[in-house]
Amino acid sequence: MKKSIYLYCSEIASYIGQNKWDYVTPFERLWKKCDTECYKAILERMQDNIESAQNNIKEIEEKKKDIEESLKKKLITENVYNKEKKKLDEECDKKQTVMKKMEENVEEIKLDQKQKLEKVMGKKIIEDIKVNDLGKNNIVISKAIENLDISKEKKKVLIKEAESFVNKTHGTKTEVDAITMFEKKFNVKLDTSQEFHKKYLREISKDSQYDWYICGKLDGVYIGENEKYIVEVKNRTKAFFTTLRDYEKTQIHLYMCMLDINKAKLVEKYKEKIRITDIYENKEYTEDVMKYLGVFISAFENKFLNAFEKKCQYIESSTDDKKVLLKQLYISDIAKMIDKKIEMEEEDCLIDDLD
């Protein structure tokens, strides 16, 4: 019997290259879910390497003490001592650099978003986020990060992580507020039961070692006598969006596909206002998303899950190197498919113009 793998509709845009900000974290979550034992084994191997490096550093420190003792006993000259100490210092620095990189790589993949922030900023600030209002949180976090003794680049990454965490923490309340405002405005009652929905991906699963599903919980569903539609709530922190973003379009189309409902309403909430955009199912768009998802799943399964050395290479890489690896693994192939489709559409338009 094949193992079932569930892909949340909210994360599929990341798998197919539409989320430019963070496609590494969703990829890692999926790996941990599909291949837990191997993931843990590679992580343990990394921990062993870190311990080995720590022991090597201790040995070097002992050697430094030994030559210092030899100098005191006048068993070696000061010139010999200085040369030996310099050599040992250089060796120690190299091993510490390697060890620090390994520790950072392990923490990067092992810790979740909250744990990473707690480690850098402290538990109290992160716990206070749950009770503070959104504006106060942003001020507190900005000040805390600004005072950290880290590079500007790391501060930028931390600020993005913190903003994402704050938005997720306050997201549920925002969704409830937006749903209430929507129901009042249109005099309807939505199903907000957050029922878990899933849809089996038969075509993708038939040649796979897994059974693949798309799944998710919806913010709201309306089933009336004359119409039915899905409601998806998005909180905006700076302004309403001027266009429908691809990653949101994909998520909503997959919800429509999953429930076999051909209409959705995107409810954006900004401050105390909501804006509604009607979205109708575009079957061609959904088919394209499924093709791209098929490319991702095939690469993920055959080029990654079934390739032990590739997994080791991944876990030993920095975030930037992971992005390069994922582009080589599948994102560039999906990008080529999209470019080819755009080319064909442009050619069709040109032919129509000539006619």
Only one residue has tokens 């004359």, namely 226
Same structural domain for residues 343 and 220?
yes
Average pLDDT rounded to a whole number, residues 231-239: 91
Phi, psi of 87, deg, nearest 5: -65, -45
The answer to whether residue 353 scores a pLDDT higher than 90 is no
Could you tell me which residue, 160 or 202, shows the higher pLDDT? 202
Within 112-151, where are the H helices? 113-121, 123-128, 134-146
At 136 the pLDDT is 67
* Structural domain ending residue among the three candidates 157, 187, 217: 187
Residue found under tokens 């040995």: 59
Do 130 and 250 lie in a common domain? no
| Residue 242: other Cβ atoms inside 10 A | 5
- Of 151, 172, 187, the residue that ends a domain is 187
Q: Which CATH number goes with the domain that contains 213?
A: 3.90.320
The confidence band for 354, taking pLDDT boundaries of 50, 70 and 90, is: low
Do residues 214 and 341 both lie within one domain? yes
Alpha-carbon separation of residue 110 from 11, 46, 87, 106, 210 (angstroms): 19, 11, 35, 6, 25
| Count of structural domains within the chain | 3
202 and 295 both lie in a single domain? yes
Q: What pLDDT score does 172 carry?
A: 60
Structure tokens at 198: 């899933």
Judged by average pLDDT, the poorest of 107-111, 196-200, 305-309 is 107-111
Say whether both 19 and 156 belong to one domain.
Answer: no
Q: Which residues contact 102 (CB under 8 A, 6 or more apart)?
A: 46, 49, 50, 53, 316
Instruction: Answer with the residue of higher pLDDT: 132 or 4.
Output: 4
Give the integer Cα–Cα distance in Å for 61 and 55: 10
- The answer, yes or no, to whether residue 348 has pLDDT greater than 70, is no
Whether residue 335 sits in one domain with residue 277: yes
Same domain, 263 and 331: yes
Based on the domain organization, do 47 and 15 belong to the same domain?
A: no
Q: 316-347: per-residue pLDDT in tens?
A: 998 899 999 999 999 999 999 999 988 888 77
Same domain (yes/no): 212, 149 = no
321 and 331 inside one domain: yes
| 307 falls within a domain | yes
| Same domain for 179 and 192 | no
Q: What angle do CA 41, 42, 48 make, to 5 degrees?
A: 90
> Which residues in the chain belong to E strands, given as ranges?
3-8, 196-200, 210-217, 220-223, 228-236, 263-270, 273-280
In a domain, 154, yes or no: yes
According to DSSP, the β-strands at 220-223 and 228-236 are antiparallel
Distances from the Cα of 71 to the Cαs of 59, 84, 260, 276, in angstroms? 18, 11, 82, 79
Its domain, for residue 263, covers 1-24+188-355
Query: pTM of the entire structure?
Result: 0.84
Q: How does pLDDT run across 54-89, given as a tens digit for each residue?
A: 999 999 999 999 999 999 999 999 999 999 999 999
What residues have CB less than 8 Å from 172, skipping those under 6 apart?
none
Instruction: Give me the DSSP letters along 302-314.
Output: IIIIT-HHHHHHH
Please report, rounded to a whole number, the percentage of residues in the chain having pLDDT higher than 90.
69
Out of 53, 79, 110, a domain closes at 110
pLDDT value of position 162: 78
Pair (291, 245) in one structural domain: yes
Alpha-carbon separation of residue 43 from 39, 40, 95 (angstroms):
6, 5, 19
